[in-house]
């Protein structure tokens, strides 16, 4: 039963990440983004993954952790790409 509730939590959190990635891609902006918050989320997912591995609890929940981590990581990369774009635009007056 614990696995079911953990899955629900990961699915609910995970729904937001593809949306965030889409917004980062289409807006090409860092407005409303926090790199510190994103790193905190990544650390949390890494802790969850580590807990599954150390506890030898390999099940479908591990896949949800990995999927969420992948989306958050893509969003983090997009943050730095968009930040670079914004800085270049400010430097060259674009």
CA distance 17 to 2: 23
CA distance 60 to 64: 7
Tokens describing residue 29: 């902006």
Residues in the chain predicted with pLDDT less than 70, given as ranges, are 94
Q: Does 92 reside within a domain?
A: yes
Q: Does 19 reside within a domain?
A: no
Q: Does 63 reside within a domain?
A: yes
Structural domain count, the chain: 1
- For the whole model, what pTM was predicted? 0.90
Q: Which residue range is the domain that position 76 belongs to?
A: 32-94
User: Residues 6 or more apart from 4 whose CB is under 8 A from it?
Assistant: none
Q: Does 15 reside within a domain?
A: no
Side-chain-facing half-sphere of 91: CA atoms under 13 Å: 6
Q: Does 90 reside within a domain?
A: yes
Q: Does 54 reside within a domain?
A: yes
The pLDDT value given to residue 92: 82
Q: Does 58 reside within a domain?
A: yes
The pLDDT value given to residue 94: 60
Q: Does 18 reside within a domain?
A: no
CA distance 38 to 18: 14
């Amino acid at each position: 039963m614990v696995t079911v509730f953990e899955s629900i939590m990961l699915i609910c959190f995970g729904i937001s990440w593809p949306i965030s990635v889409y917004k980062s891609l289409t807006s090409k902006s860092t407005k409303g983004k926090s790199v510190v918050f994103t790193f905190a989320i990544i650390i949390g997912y890494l802790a969850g993954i580590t807990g599954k591995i150390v506890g030898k609890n390999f099940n479908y929940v591990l896949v949800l952790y990995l999927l969420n981590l992948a989306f958050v990581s893509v969003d983090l990369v997009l943050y730095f790409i968009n930040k670079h774009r914004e800085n270049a635009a400010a430097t060259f007056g674009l």
